[in-house]
Amino acid sequence: MGFVSTYLPELRCSCPPGFEMVDPQNWSKGCRPTFSYNCGKERYKFIEIPQTDFYDFILGFNQSISFEECQNICLSTCSCIAFSYRLTGTGVCYPKGLLFNGYKSPAFPGTLYLKVPYSTNLQASSTQSALTCSPGSQEIATPSDHPRWLYFYIFPGVFGALELVFILTVWWFLSVRNDIQNSAEGGYMMIRNQFRRFTYQELKEATGKFREELGRGSSGIVYRGVLKDKRVIAVKKLIDVTRGEVEFQAEMSVIGKINHMNLVRIWGFCSEGKHELLVYEYVENESLDRYLFNTMGTERLLVWKDRFNIVLGAARALAYLHHECLEWVFHCDVKPENILLTRDFEAKIADFGLSKLYKREGSSFNFSQMRGTMGYMAPEWATNLPINTKVDVYSYGVVLLEIVAGQRISSHTTREGNVKEALATGDTKCIVDGRLHGQFNSEQAMVMLIVAVSCLEEERSKRPTMHEVVKTLLDCEEFININMNVENARITYIVKRRKY
C-alpha cells in the first residue's frame, strides 16, 4: 500500500488515516491498513482527503458522472478501496484497486475518498513519521503546541516580551502559510511545487559556464551544476530545437506538474531566444548502462535484488506516464541510458521532459518523424502506423531482457528465440547474466522473461499495458502461479493477479 509524499521544501512521507508503516525503518515497504476489508459482510464509509491522489491501478475511469454515482461504483466493487473525484468542468471518477505513490498539491483539482469499514473509529490525525523517504530529505521542525509560561508569574516583564515575540511569530506564520496547510485528516502537508523558470545567466553561473559535462545524446548535452540553495542539479542544453518558444513553455507547464518517485524530477527550465535548457535533479549513480554492460569490471555488479527493483521501478514510472497524467506522456526513448540510478540503486527514468504530450481524447497519434534509439524501437515506427503507448511497452521489453541477461539484446545469447526455448524448458540459467554465478531468484527470472517476451510482440494489441506489467511484477514479489503453454513458438502466460 502506498504512502503520501510532501515537500516543505524537502520530501516527507506519511501514511493515510487508518494505515501504518509496514516497516518503521523503511518507507519503501509502504503502509498497510489497520483494518481488514470484508466484501459483502461489512458496511463502508469514506474518509475525504482533499487535493490528494494516488497514482496507478485505476479500475476504469468514468467521465461526466456525479459524485454519488462515483461513490456507489466504489461501494459496489469489492476490489475498490478508494476513489478519486476530479472537478474539471464535468465530474471524472477514478475508482482505485491499489494505492501507490501518494501526492498532495494545492493545484490538484480533485479529492481522494478512502474506503474504510463503517465501524472504524479513526482519529482526525495521522502520524507523520520523523523518518525520511530519501537520502536527500530532511526532517521539518514543527512549532511547539504549547508555549511554556514557566516564569509568567515570577517575571511579568519577561512574559510581556515573550508575548510580543509570540504575536509577531504567529503573524508571520499566518502570512506565509497560504502555501502550506494541514489536511482535514491531519498528518498531510501540501506540496509546494518548486518548478520554476530560470534565467540563462543563473544556469551559466550554476554550471560554472557549463564546465563539467555529465553526458551527451541526440537531444542535447548534460552538465553538472549547483544552485544558490546548494541543490545539485543536472542541466540539459537542448540542441536542434525545432519547436517555438510558446509550444516549449506550454509543454513545460504540463511537465512541471509531473511527480513520481521513479521519475527524475524536473525543477525548471530556461527559454531565452536560442537557449532552451531543462533543469533536473542530480542522480548520484548516473545511468543503468554503466553498470549493466560493464565489460571492464570497473563498476559495481548489479545483484539480482537490484535488478528486480530497477525493473519494477521503471515499470511504475511508465505506468504513471501512460495512465495517470492528465495528459498522456509517451517517452519514446526508453533505454538503459535513460534510466538513472540513485545512491540506493533505485530506478529513475530520465528524459521524459522531451516526450510527447497528448490529450486523452484520442487513443493513438501520428508523429512527423521517427523517435527513439535503434534496437529499442517498436516495429510500428517503421510502418508509419499511428503511435500509442505500446511503443514504450516494446522498448521496456528490450530493456527488461537486457537487465536479466546483462548484455545488449543484439547478442546471440539474448535473441527472442533463445528466450522462448529457455522458457519452454524451464531453464533460465542460460539466459540470466553469468556474472551472477547462479545467485538469482529463478521464479522471478521466469516471470521477467515471460513479461519481456509479451512486451516484444510484433502485434502491439497483444502487448500488455504498463499497469499490467507492474501488477505482474508486484505479484511476483510474494507469490507466483504460472501456467506456460508452448504453441506455434508463442509463449502465453497467466500470472495470478487481481482483476482491474
Nearest to 292 by CA among 256, 339, 355: 339
Cell 489497520 found at: 34
The reply, when asked if residue 237 is annotated as ligand binding, is yes
> What residues have CB less than 8 Å from 191, skipping those under 6 apart?
5, 6, 7, 103, 104, 105, 106, 259
Backbone angles phi, psi at 472, to 5 degrees: -60, -45
Task: Enter the C-alpha cell of residue 456.
Answer: 516484444
Residue type (1 letter), 133: C
Nearest to 101 by CA among 392, 321, 279: 321
Alpha-carbon distance of 427 to 420, in angstroms, equals: 10
Q: Radius of gyration over alpha carbons of the chain, in Å?
A: 25
Alpha-carbon distance of 27 to 135, in angstroms, equals: 12
Residue type (1 letter), 149: W
Backbone angles phi, psi at 450, to 5 degrees: -65, -45
333 is annotated as an active-site residue: yes
In 3-state terms, what secondary structure has residue 311?
helix
**What separation in angstroms does the CA of 360 have from each of 85, 253, 322, 389?**
17, 17, 10, 12
- Burial of residue 353 (CB within 10 Å: 0-12, 13-18, 19+) is buried
> Given strand 110-117, what is the order of strands in its sheet?
44-50, 110-117, 82-88, 90-96, 62-63
Of the candidates 53, 56, 306, 333, the residue annotated as catalytic is: 333
Nearest to 387 by CA among 366, 406, 408: 366
Q: Which residues are annotated as a binding site?
A: 237
Q: Please list the active-site residues.
A: 333
Q: Which residues are annotated as a binding site for ATP?
A: 237
